[in-house]
Amino acid sequence: MTQNATLTTENASLTTQNASLTTQNATLAAQVAQLQSQIADQTAQINGLTAQNAALTSEKTQLQNQIAGQAAQIDLVTSQNAALTAANVQLQSQAVQLQAQVNNLTAQLTTLSSGVANGLSTITLTFQNLFKNNSFQIPGNTSLAQFQSLVSAIQNLNSGQAGALYVNLGGKK
């Protein structure tokens, strides 16, 4: 074979190889373009997720600050509640003491009212017996009104009558 035929055969073989490599290159170029498109899409997703992450981190920080503020408020309210509870206990103790005083004063008032009523009743009976007048009553609808009538009557005594009452009550002439 001649050198020209050999070169022609080699040229045809190289042309076939070149065509095959050109096809492979075009296929690889299409794959590269597709991969670059995927990379661009994934980069956009990464950027979006990064922005969302930043927003969530900011929101988390705000919520943590709110929690800290609310924790301070809870501490304040807890402290105020403890103070009010202590004040309530003290007021309840005072209320018990005041109720005991009211009960004591009520008992004293009952004793005094009974004493005044008994005294007025004794004076009324004495006058009824002394002057033989069973219908005699010291004027007044209540013990207090009758007592005031008695005081007024004593104040209206003449000096001789007042002097006798004075001596009868232990006064010295």
Amino acid at 146: Q
Distance CA 81, CA 85 (A): 6
Which tokens is 116 given?
Answer: 């005044």
Among candidate residues 144, 145, 126, 150, the one with its CA nearest the CA of residue 136: 126
Per-run averaged pLDDT (10 residues), the chain, 173 residues? 88 93 94 94 95 95 92 93 96 96 96 95 96 96 95 95 91 86
Which tokens is 128 given?
Answer: 């009824």
Identify the pLDDT of residue 173.
76
